[in-house]
Structure 1
Amino acid sequence: MEFEPKWIAWEITRRCNLKCVHCRSSSELEVQEHPDFSLEEAKRVLDDINSYASPVVVLSGGEPLLRKDVFDIATYGTDLGLRMCMATNGTLVNDEVCRGIKESGIKMVSLSLDGASAAVHDNFRNQEGAFEGTMNAIRLFNEHKIPFLINSSFTKRNKEEAPKIYELVKKLGATAWYLFMIVPTGRGEEIMEELIPESEYEDILNWHYDMEKEEHDLLVRPTCAPSITGSSSSAPRRRETGSNDGP
C-alpha cells in the first residue's frame, strides 16, 4: 500500500521560552542534549520530503521563533512548492516577525490558548504574561492579515474553560479552533493525575457536538485522546473526531 503524507509537523528546535505543564517534548530554553540542526540539514530534509510528497509542513518546536533561520527554512520550503505553516506560542511575535511570516510564504500560523483569562492560561503555560503575549500576537496577525487558528489543550485544571475559550476564539478572528486532550508524554507524564477521565471526556465531546451543529462561521474540530482506552456505557454522540489536520 502506497502512503503519502498530507501533513507533517516538524519540530525544528527543542528550545522554548515557556515551560508548559503538558509539553510533549519537555522543551525549555537551554537544551544541551538536542542542539538545533543546521540550515543546510533543514534544506536537505525539505528536499527529501519534496522528492516523494507535497504535504503541509508545520514548523514547530519547542518555539520555532527561537531559530534565527526559521524564515530561511520556510522560504526554502515555499520555493520548493510546499505549503509552509508554523506553530508558535505567540509570545515572541512582533511586527518584524509578521513581515517574516508573510515574506517567507507561511500560509497559516497556529497559536495555543489554554484559558480564556490570564490566570488560567498563564498557569497552564508556567509563565506570567503568556496570555498577554498570545493576545498581542493575535492583534498583530489581524493587523498584518495573517491567517491563524487556535489550539486548546485540556486537563482537569482547565476543562471548565472550554465554552469560554470557544466564545473568546470566535471574537478573535481565528479561522479554526481545535480542542485537544492531553497525551501523557514528555512533561505530560508528570501530570497523569490531571488527565480528564473517560466519562468527563465524553461530556466534553458531547458539548462540542452540540456546539458544532450550530457553528457555521468557525471551523471547529475535537481531537480525541489516544491515551483513553476501553469502552463506556455512555458513548459520545459523535466518535469521528480523528486527529488534528493542523493549519
Structure 2
Amino acid sequence: MMPRFPVLAAFFLSMIFCWSVAHAQQKPVRPQPSQCQAIAQSLPKASFASFSPAGPTLANDPIDGDVKITFLGHATLFIETPGGVSIATDYSGAYPPPYTPEVVTMNKAHPSHYTLTPDPAIRYVLHGWSDTPGEPAKIRMTVGDTLIRNVVTDIRSWGGGIEANGNSIFIFEVAGLCIGHLGHLHFELTDQQYAEIGRLDVVMVPVDGGLTMGADSMSRVVKRLRSSLILPMHRWGPPIDQFLALFGPDFDVGYAPTPSVTVSVKTLPRKPLIYVLKGL
C-alpha cells in the first residue's frame, strides 16, 4: 500500500500554487510610469529641457519610430503612432480625420472643441473635464504604444467667473517622445502644473491672441516649456506673424509645405522650432 503522506503533500502544494496564481492575478495592474513627467514635482520655476530619455520606454514602443501629426483645423490635430494608434485632439467632428480615430480628446470651453454625439466607432472618448463641477478629470491610460494622461487647468466661464479644472492639457507619450496639446488654455501655468507636465518635446499651442490667452502670456508659456517642436494651432483673428514676432534668436521659425509633420527622437530639432503647418 502506497503511503498517503506524499500524496497529501502533493495535494496541499498544488492548492498553495493555485492560490498563489489566483492571488497574483487579482493584484491591480501597476500604472504605466511616465517617462516625461518631472521627477521632482516641486522644483520652483523649473524649465525642463527636451531630450530623449535613456531609460526604458513603453512596452512595444520602438524609440526610433516615427509619429505623424496632421493639422486638420482649429484645435484638431491627428496623431498617428508607430504602433498604429490614431488620436484626434479637441475633437468636435467638424474637422474629420482621414479615417475613424481610435482615441479622441475633448475640451469644453467652446463647442468647436467637443461633441456630445461622437461617432460610436471611436473606441475611447476622453473628456478634459469632469461631470462633477470643480472636480478634476483624471486620465491616465495606455492605448497600444501610447500613454495618455492629462493635467487640468482653470478656464473663464461664460458668466465672467472662473471654472476650476475646466480644461485639460493632454499629453501623449509614445516612441520616446513627449507630445502635449495645451487645449483651450486661459491662464499661465503654475509651478505645480509645469511639474505635472514635465518634459514636452512637441507642443501644440493656441495662437488666437486672446480667446485663450494674449500672445505675450502664451509666448511665456512656450518659452518656459522649451519644447523642441512648437506647432501653432487655434489661430483666430490676428496674423500668425504677431505671435512669431515675440520670439527672438533662440527660436527658429519654419513653414511646412503640407499640413503634416513626421517626427521622431532622432529628428527632433536641436534648436526650438516653431513650425507652422499648412492650413493654419
TM-score (norm: length of structure 2): 0.36
Larger Rg over CA atoms: 2
More helix by share: 1
More strand by share: 2
TM-score (norm: length of structure 1): 0.39
